[in-house]
Amino acid sequence: MRGYRMMGGCVLAALWLCVASPVAQAGLFDWMSTQLNEAEEAEVDSLVLPVPEDWIGDFDGMRERRLVRVLVPYSKTFFMVDRGRQQGISYELGKALEAWLNARHPYAQKSLRWQVMFIPVARNELMPRLLSGGGDIAAGGLTITEGRLQTVDFAAPFSSNIREAVITGPSSAALSTLEDLAGQEVTVRASSSYFEHLVAINRQFKARGLKPIKIIAADENLESEDLLEMLNAGLLNAIVVDRYIAEAWSPLYSKLQIHDEFYIHEGPSLPGRSARAVRCSSRSWRPLWTSTRPARRLAIACATST
């Protein structure tokens, strides 16, 4: 918290130095050297909505707390805040889940209601924060993979034909087959299912005597639509995203080419499915995800017990 305030203060200070008089500049340097005392620190922190402490429990525990915490990546597609308003696919489905809980599992006392809280995290923090109790649900277009099944328990998938497509831009080399990717740079997040599947393809390429794909790890704070924008500007050679995401953003990023000649991975096999998941130890939590339409569509993952 303090780091963000200091960074913001430094930016304002730099702007002020461009126009301030020498006397004003001297006063500014005195201000910058002043540290907040404990009372001032507490006053600033009181203005920020607190994030609940880590907690792991089942549906009954969430009911007692009247709270379901949803971990989400900050994304123009799944969750974002625009002029103080939350929006996105995960947000809308989370609010639908909140309405469903209040309608189907109401409290005897009318003044008490369920609340769904959205907690933005980087993609590579979704599973670790879920496992450590930082959230009850991880949402955001998650795909079932063998690697993820080692740490979380996915329930029955709601979609079984997720196609992971290669997308190229104005500066990309021509592609027509999967083998054309040999030796080329492809940018994906290391925490993504795309990375996992590209590594598997590289093993196949090695066995066939082909050059490996040069997998470039993207910053974990960059979402698929961010990489699409960079690709459209000619900053990247190629990326991999779910095809439906690329298609949704193609009207805005018109210089992109979606390659349907081949896919990095697609259904109906296990890794081609998006699904909700439940905590193995939570018997009362599991029926909710198998019967709740908003939950089925959230593409959620709940931690297993270890």
Mean pLDDT highest for which of 9-18, 77-86, 110-119, 286-295? 110-119
Q: Which residues pair with 181 in a beta bridge?
A: none
CA pair distance 119, 61, nearest whole angstrom: 19
Q: Which domain holds residue 33?
A: 2-45
Residue 302 lies in a domain: no
Q: How many CB atoms lie within 10 A of CB 28?
A: 15
pTM of the shown model: 0.68
The pLDDT assigned to 288 comes to 59
Q: Is 88 helix (H, G, I), strand (E, B) or coil?
A: coil
Q: What is the pLDDT of residues 44-77, one digit of tens each?
A: 666 566 778 899 888 889 999 999 999 998 888 8
Residues 33, 88 within the same domain = no
Please indicate, yes or no, whether residues 262 and 203 belong to a single structural domain of this protein: yes
Min mean pLDDT across 33-37, 57-61, 294-298 is at: 294-298
**Domain CATH number, residue 254:** 3.40.190.10
Indicate whether 64 and 157 sit together in one domain: yes
Q: Fill in the amino acid letter for 287.
A: P
Statement to judge: residues 216 and 260 lie in one domain: yes
Asked whether residue 190 falls in the same domain as residue 152, the answer is: no
What's the domain count of the chain? Answer: 3
Using an 8 Å Cβ cutoff, are 168 and 190 in contact?
A: no
